[in-house]
Structure 1
Amino acid sequence: MDFQPTQDQRDLRAGVRDLLAGRYGREALRASVDGGVCVDRALWRELGEAGFFALRLPEEEGGVGLGMPEAVLVFEEAGRALLPGPLVATHLAAGSVPGAARGTVVVTAFDLEGPLVTHLAEADAVLGAAAVPAGEAVRSADPLTPLSRVSRESVRECAGSADPYRDEGALLTAALQLGSALRTVELAVRYAKEREQFGQPIGAFQAVKHLCARMLVRAEVARTAVYAAAVTGDPGEVAGAKLLADEAAVRGARDCLQVHGGMGFTWEADVHLHLKRAWVRAEQWRTAARAEEVLAAELLAAEPLGAA
């Protein structure tokens, strides 16, 4: 059995990478950070026209008619580019919220623990909720993922609305984390080749080699888990994929920062943006604690080895 991506899947990934490189490259990312533009409505509509949000909708409903494996590849590229906005919620809402599939409507969700929600001020709808509740802005670690605190009454009324989408949301978020993890590997390796110390590139030093190698191993293990979960859809595998992708993204960004040294701590470097986004995503859709509970429940429910 061949588990490699098909040519169509590779072409899809390449097309999305080219689209984002041309429309949301580094200059656009930094302009968003400097200008505080968390959701670019024009870009959102372009993504909708390209089928980003309607990717898994049946063709008879105006969608592309693809599946979760293809969606994971697309979201991986979005994570690599640090594309901001409630991408997962809008994608999940494509079949239920008018305008979401075409990118004319921005949809967020109660995908965080507690009374916090992302991109509430920019959203036109909340997944599964009748209306967008009022919220109070809260300072976020990630400059492009604004947080709002809503009333506990709103949480009680709407928090369960995202539950049917929990596994899919966790897997797509894991794909975003995977893309970020793979990108920080690229950034670390490139810097290690360019930065010289004591007359040679720092990548020649064993300590730096080990950092980059560990980053790559974590990212590739996460990639395997995310791709497998996209094929099987098993809740336990989705939980494991989210755990591994969160670790790859957060620890990868930290190691990338370490490779960059003092430069990595500056606002001008992109490393801190990956780390801050990874911190926020690790708390979205399925936290480590929740994922561990899912895995524990599956292990407890499984038959012991050797049982009849």
Structure 2
Amino acid sequence: MRFQLTQDQRALRDGVRELLARRFGGQALRAALDEPGRLDRTLWRELGAAGFFALRLPEAEGGVGQGLPEAVLAFEEAGRALLPGPLVATHLAAGAVPAAATGEAVVTSVGNGLVEWLAEADVVRGDASGATPLRSVDPLTPLHRVPSANAVDRAGDAAAADSVAVLLTAAEQLGSATRACELAAQHARTREQFGQPIGAFQAVQHLCAEMLVRTETARAAVYAAAVTADPRDIDTARLLADEAAVRGARDCLQVHGGMGFTWEFEVHLHLKRAWVRTHRMGDATESEENLAAELLAESP
């Protein structure tokens, strides 16, 4: 099956990329690192005004009236830019929580015993009582842990929302994987050793090629899941996107060498954010178990 973006979808993707490049480029990213834990409310409202949070809300309710594929494209760009904040939770709250769609309210949610951006949230969906601060590997994603007793069974509409959250997180992972691939290829072309670009060496070429294969495989899976919205496809997309983001960032660090771990470069931030995302709305093991259960149910 071939998936090609329509002209409107390409325009949406390019528009989100342009907005984030203008409002959350390299300089803004480093400024955010200087104030970890503080959310840029002005940028949040700009995202709301651009329709980021209301993208799937019907036009009759003041939304943009787009579907899941368009949301995936927007969140892919957010992942590529390392945009901080509880983006998925606020997007899912549009239409249900007042002012979430416009970006006037920041919404977070409790999932897998963790809460992102609890201190900055105006609304918390779920039981965050007893939450304690947790040292986050990602400086741009403050975390709190909640007691396991707060967990509730999810069914019906709530389970469907969780499934969408998993897919949008996979889209963010895809964006990170894409950016890591771009950064590795750029560095391989410009960094020289022994009188030639390091991209001329076979070992570096293999790393970059493997990153590209994982990224494009994940892209096909994420885009397919956005079209079908099938839970099995979403679990598959999650597994492939997690692998592409984490391994891609690690390989990108390998291409950069010790430089990649310095604050001057964003490479290590993609790895740290990818690690955090793997624990949002469950983890890879949960998706693996879901797929295994489906296979066993279908076996004769």
TM range (shorter): over 0.9
Paired position in structure 1 for 2:5: 5
**Distance in structure 2 (CA, Å) of the matches to 1:160 and 1:281:** 20
Residue 189 of structure 1 pairs with residue 185 of structure 2: yes
Paired position in structure 2 for 1:120: 118
Asked if the contact 1:52–1:91 (Cα under 8 Å) also holds between the matched residues in 2, the reply is yes
Question: Secondary structure of the residue that 1:175 maps to in structure 2?
Answer: helix
Q: 1:166: Cα distance to partner?
A: 1.4
TM-score, normalisation: structure 1: 0.93
Question: Secondary structure of the residue that 1:126 maps to in structure 2?
Answer: strand
Mean alpha-carbon deviation: is it higher for 49-58 or for 144-153? 144-153
Asked if the contact 1:38–1:146 (Cα under 8 Å) also holds between the matched residues in 2, the reply is no
**Distance in structure 1 (CA, Å) of the matches to 2:147 and 2:227:** 38
Asked if the contact 2:37–2:141 (Cα under 8 Å) also holds between the matched residues in 1, the reply is no
**Distance in structure 2 (CA, Å) of the matches to 1:292 and 1:18:** 36
Calculate the aligned-residue CA RMSD, in Å: 1.7
**Distance in structure 1 (CA, Å) of the matches to 2:210 and 2:146:** 40
Q: Deviations over 1:48-84 (max 9, x none)?
A: 0100000000000000000000000000000000000
* Equivalent residues in 2 for 1:121-200, closer than 5 Å: 121-127=119-125, 129=126, 133=129, 135-153=131-149, 155-156=150-151, 160=154, 163-200=159-196
**Distance in structure 1 (CA, Å) of the matches to 2:7 and 2:143:** 39
Question: Secondary structure of the residue that 2:248 maps to in structure 1?
Answer: helix
Asked if the contact 1:242–1:286 (Cα under 8 Å) also holds between the matched residues in 2, the reply is no
Question: Secondary structure of the residue that 1:143 maps to in structure 2?
Answer: coil
Q: 1:32: Cα distance to partner?
A: 0.2
Q: Deviations over 1:177-200 (max 9, x none)?
A: 000000000000001111100000
Match of 1:287 among 277, 283, 289: 283
The one-letter amino acid of 1:200's match is Q
Asked if the contact 1:166–1:286 (Cα under 8 Å) also holds between the matched residues in 2, the reply is no
* Equivalent residues in 2 for 1:192-211, closer than 5 Å: 192-211=188-207
Q: Percent identity?
A: 67
Paired position in structure 2 for 1:83: 83
Relative to structure 1, the CA distance from residue 256 to residue 209 in structure 2 (aligned partners, 3 Å threshold; closer, same or farther) is same
Paired position in structure 1 for 2:224: 228
Asked if the contact 2:110–2:128 (Cα under 8 Å) also holds between the matched residues in 1, the reply is no
Match of 1:275 among 260, 263, 271: 271
**Distance in structure 1 (CA, Å) of the matches to 2:261 and 2:3:** 39
Relative to structure 1, the CA distance from residue 159 to residue 22 in structure 2 (aligned partners, 3 Å threshold; closer, same or farther) is farther
The one-letter amino acid of 1:299's match is L
Q: Deviations over 1:162-186 (max 9, x none)?
A: 5442110000000000000000000
Asked if the contact 1:249–1:275 (Cα under 8 Å) also holds between the matched residues in 2, the reply is yes
Asked if the contact 2:59–2:65 (Cα under 8 Å) also holds between the matched residues in 1, the reply is yes
The one-letter amino acid of 1:230's match is A
**Distance in structure 2 (CA, Å) of the matches to 1:255 and 1:2:** 28
Q: 1:296: Cα distance to partner?
A: 0.9
**Count of matched residue pairs:** 298
Q: 1:34: Cα distance to partner?
A: 1.6
Paired position in structure 2 for 1:300: 296
TM-score, normalisation: structure 2: 0.95
